[in-house]
Amino acid sequence: MSKETEPDGGNPSCAAVIVAAGKGVRAGGATPKQFRHLAGRSVLQRSVDAFARHTGISELVVVLPEDQISGLGLQAGDRPLQVVAGGATRAASVEAGLRALAFNPPDLVLIHDGARPLVTSRVISEVIDALSSHPAAAPGLPVTDSLWQGSDAQITGLRNRDGLFRAQTPQGFHYDAILDAHRHGDKSATDDIALALSAGLTPAIVAGDEANLKITGPDDFRRAEQILSTRMTPRIGTGFDVHAFGPGDHVTLCGIDLPHDRGLSGHSDADVAMHALTDAIYGALAAGDIGRWFPPSDPQWKGAASDIFLAHAVELAAENGFGIGNADLTIICEYPKIGPHADAMRARLADIMGCDIDRVSVKATTSERLGFTGRGEGIAAQASVLLEAS
């Protein structure tokens, strides 16, 4: 499962310009390809969603045909969204999108084809990351088939494929440089990397993704639907954690402080239940565990409230296209008694995860005075979570 967002902030601002002002002639059909539906959502809305849920993107511009700029009902979550009219060529459409950002320019901009609805957060993150050390960056796939020269259905020669790549989007740039390249560049350029090269920039290539196809011909809808059906399979994860009792007058479980004659020891607030739940979400995403994202060796997490960890895991899930289906948590201890506080815990967890309380279960069991929990040496918790494609 892809995902690269780091929990710390301080990144440069990065806008996304999504171009969707083409006619989609090759795809055929009465409606241009970007407005047709793929598994219940338009191709363009899916492209917009990939950027609107990525934590590295601060605002979006969507470039549409002049006669479509109102009434499409595009959604960009909590990110500012501008909609502007495009031009006769892709380059003209991109330039219109870039100009819409000029009033309050971002540091970086990613330019994406609205006809590539399956772009992943991994690809978006890698392009953004590469821009910290390069003036431009884009995903590419090495050419693996042999290349022929041909005419009249006959092979007339061979081409060397070494060093050749298939270009994808998003293509990322420092905003000022790409706006300048568009203002002075060749209006017939087929993509923005071409303009960056003519402006003397050396773009980096990041790993592309076979699934990040550009819907071009009629068959591409079927291919995209196949890829989507695999991605929409729900994900399941489990988590388990233990903290020992230590000195203190309360324990924090699911974000709720319960008076107790001892506390729980640990690097953060030692909320063993929230840690198990957080690890279940990371597990469902195959994204490691809390220790990978918030290393205990890092002093900034000392005494930290564990809702930071849970919120990060939920954000990571959203970035990968998943929301909380349901979560079920079991706390294992003799004392304190959990039952009277279970609903408050469910409400707190639902609040952090941004889901309905009906999707969150908190229950407890003793271990019949057996083992370390039975002897009152600590508290254990286990969690299961189901993530649903959102």
Contacts to ligand CTP from residues 10-39, by CB under 6 A: 19-26, 34
Residues that bind Mg ion in the complex, under the rule CB under 5 A: 22
Q: Distance (Å, rounded) from C-alpha 351 to C-alpha 255?
A: 11
Other CB atoms closer than 10 Å to residue 317's CB: what's the count? 27
Angstrom distances, CA of residue 97 to CA of 84, 111, 216: 7, 9, 22
Q: Which of residues 254-313 bind ligand CTP (CB under 6 A)?
A: none
Residue closer to ligand CTP, measured from CB, 84 or 181: 84
Q: Give CA separation, 11 vs 58, 174, 188, 351, in Å.
A: 10, 13, 33, 26
From 108-116, 344-352, 366-374, 378-386, give the range in contact with ligand CTP by CB under 6 A: 108-116
In angstroms, the Cα distances linking 212 to 115, 223, 246, 308, 369 are 10, 11, 51, 32, 55
Q: Decide: is 115 part of the binding site for ligand CTP (CB under 6 A).
A: yes
Residue 113's binding partner, choosing from ligand CTP, Mg ion, none, with beta-carbon cut-off 5 to 8 A by kind?
ligand CTP
Q: Are 70 and 51 in contact (CB under 8 A)?
A: no
Q: Are 117 and 215 in contact (CB under 8 A)?
A: yes
- The reply to whether 187 sits near ligand CTP by the rule CB under 6 A is no
Interface residue with ligand CTP, options 5, 42, 93, 171 (CB under 6 A): 93
3-state SS class at 385: strand
Read off the amino acid at residue 248: G
- String marking each residue 35-74 x if it binds ligand CTP according to CB under 6 A: ----------------------------x-----------
The C-alpha atoms of residue 186 and residue 313 are separated, in whole angstroms, by 44
Q: Is 172 in the site for ligand CTP (CB under 6 A)?
A: no
382 lines the binding site for ligand CTP (CB under 6 A):
no
Comparison of 48 and 331: residue with beta carbon closer to ligand CTP: 48
235 part of the interface to ligand CTP, by CB under 6 A: no
In the complex, least distance from residue 160 CB atom to ligand CTP, rounded to whole angstroms:
27
In the complex, which residues of this chain contact ligand CTP (CB under 6 A)?
Answer: 19-26, 34, 63, 86-90, 93, 113-115, 214, 216
